[in-house]
A and B are shown apart, each in its own frame.
Chain A
Amino acid sequence: MKVRAGDRGMIPFAAVIVIMIGLAAFAPNVAPYTPDHQELAKRFLPPLTPGHSLGTDHLGRDILTRLVFGTRISLSVGTIAVLISVLIGTVLGVLSGYYGGMFDDIVNWFVNVQLAFPFILLAISVIAVLGPSLVNMIIVLAIGGWPAYVRVVRSKVFVLKEVEYVEAVKAIGAGDARIMLRHIFPNVAAPLIVLTSFEFAKMVIAEAALSFLGLGPGGLDYSSWGLMLAEGKNYLAVAWWVATIPGLAIMTAVLSINIVGDWLRDRLDPKLQT
């Protein structure tokens, strides 16, 4: 791909994502402390205190450390949840777009039921049933994510299956599976990549929202940005930074992913509206 003038603005945001991945990978080497290391005597130290550059929280834990470890939760939960929902959504979307009929009606019904059920309520009820844990959080997010892919993929396949070259390979005797895999799927890939980038941003927010509502696994060493925010909100009047800093981290991450997503869309699929 040729680099165009408009691309340069995207570079710092792509860099943010690369740095986040690096921090997540090397968190124990980069972070000055461990996420559960607490010193009650050093509670609520403000940012720029020597030894605690972003300050400490209500238990005297280092905020920078917890922030660095938080990238692990955000990225891993987001990535796995997105992969599961892409897989489910794409398979169902291709099949229901290609075969249509009854199968399509049923898939469509599931999509509509899912969309009519407010996501946060669904998430809370499922976690109330399964219990709070990282795996359950991923399951819930994947359940919330798949309908978006079905919708985009299905409508694209509807158009694609009528295209001449698909008719042509069919006439030579190619089977349905081969047509879907070799001839239809590659043409769905571009909108899929674009949608995935925006959905990934949503997953990062959703993970933080669930942790914020206390639906994550909890525990002293569980450092999710959403949980940090929830803990910090009780001390707004005494220590503004405890809640503000993790929120800033979430926003920076989501903003960067969205900007890279915008760039991808302009590059790959300008007609897609998001």
Chain B
Amino acid sequence: MSNFWSYVIRRAWQSLTILLGVSIVVFGLMHLSGDPIRLLAPIDTTAEELEAIRKLHGLDRPLPVQYWNFLSGVLRGDFGKSLRSGENALHLALERVPATARLALTALAFSLIVALPFGVLAAVKRNTWIDRTVMGAALIGQSMPVFWLGILLILVFAVNLGVLPATGTRAGWRSLILPGITLGMFNMARTARLLRSELLEVLQAEYIMTARAKGMSARVVLWRHAFRNAVIPLVTLIGLDLGALLAGSVITETIFAWPGIGRLSVNAIYGRDYPVVQAAVLVVASIYVIINFLVDLSYAFLNPRVNLS
């Protein structure tokens, strides 16, 4: 068990250094992109006034000093105020997390609800037309760019049929359907393909032959023995997928005008609102890193054979 805890500490330390790296990249990028004050201030602002605004935001000091101030602020949970609205940047970012989380969870749920039955079906009916159709559809789903899928769904369900809202969140859970499918499609296709290949591999294992030889019904062999073992690698993937979905919802949020953290960061980058970009990206990266950390730990905890070094 002490082995496990030293692994936990090592992994936690690694996660922290990764976030430190992300903070350096975020800080560096935003400060290479030119002078935000000039863009924000009215055209007739005098040079002295510009200087005063710079001082106010600490933008007149050398870069390492600015980074140090930034980092010590971050550690206290203080990312500064939005250069546009004056609101607390971290607060702005955090209040968008629930909307993105709702979208990511919907996408994950959608992808699993479709992928699990069809993955099993394809494996059981392997090399029949059913298998080929399901896997063909999965390949198409995996090759479909999210932005095109989103537009197609809007075209069909919002513009032509008028049954679902195209953008925003006003229609409650019905607003989640189109963006959820859009975001979840790639994941769905990949999970179905992975589940099929895992199942096919497991079905060839010796203990499956033994179970069959003992005269167990095909159904019992499939669900009690094969499915359980094929799903273990998928459980790890699901955790990682959730992290990727949270971080990858930027384009989906942009298309559907979804008020999540991805759209917030895109708008902040276009508006050169440094504090908000920094807060939003670090929040997304932290969620991603923490989820990966927890997935690794649960994997090490559940599977004693995992090499902890």
Q: Do A and B come from one complex?
A: yes
Task: Give the CA-CA distance A141 to B235 in the complex, in Å.
Answer: 30
CB <8 Å contact, A117 and B285: yes
CB <8 Å contact, A124 and B269: yes
CB <8 Å contact, A236 and B269: no
Residues of A in contact, count (CB < 8 Å)? 40
What is the minimal beta-carbon distance from B225 to any residue of chain A, in angstroms? 22
Given contacts A236-B155, A247-B151, A255-B139, contact A121 B145 (CB under 8 A): no
A117's partner among B25, B33, B152, B154 (CB-CB below 8 A) is B25
**Chain A interface, >50% SS class:** helix
CB <8 Å contact, B151 and A251: no
A residues near B32, Cβ cutoff 8 Å: 129
B residues near A205, Cβ cutoff 8 Å: 145
CB <8 Å contact, B148 and A229: yes
Given contacts A109-B17, A251-B144, contact A236 B151 (CB under 8 A): yes
Residues of B in contact, count (CB < 8 Å)? 46
Provide the A227-256 mask, 1 if CB < 8 A to any CB of B, else 0: 001101100110010011001001100110
CB <8 Å contact, A236 and B154: yes
A118's partner among B30, B140, B248, B270 (CB-CB below 8 A) is B248
Provide the B209-249 mask, 1 if CB < 8 A to any CB of A, else 0: 00000000000000000000000000000000000000110
What is the minimal beta-carbon distance from B141 to any residue of chain A, in angstroms? 10
CB <8 Å contact, B143 and A201: yes
B-side residues, CB < 8 A to A, are 14, 17-19, 21-22, 25-26, 29-30, 32-34, 139-140, 142-148, 151-152, 154-155, 159, 194, 197, 247-248, 250-251, 254, 262, 265-266, 269-270, 272, 277, 281, 284-285, 288-289
A-side residues, CB < 8 A to B, are 109-110, 112-113, 116-118, 120-122, 124-126, 128-129, 201, 205, 208-209, 212-213, 226, 229-230, 232-233, 236-237, 240, 243-244, 247, 250-251, 254-255, 258-259, 262, 273
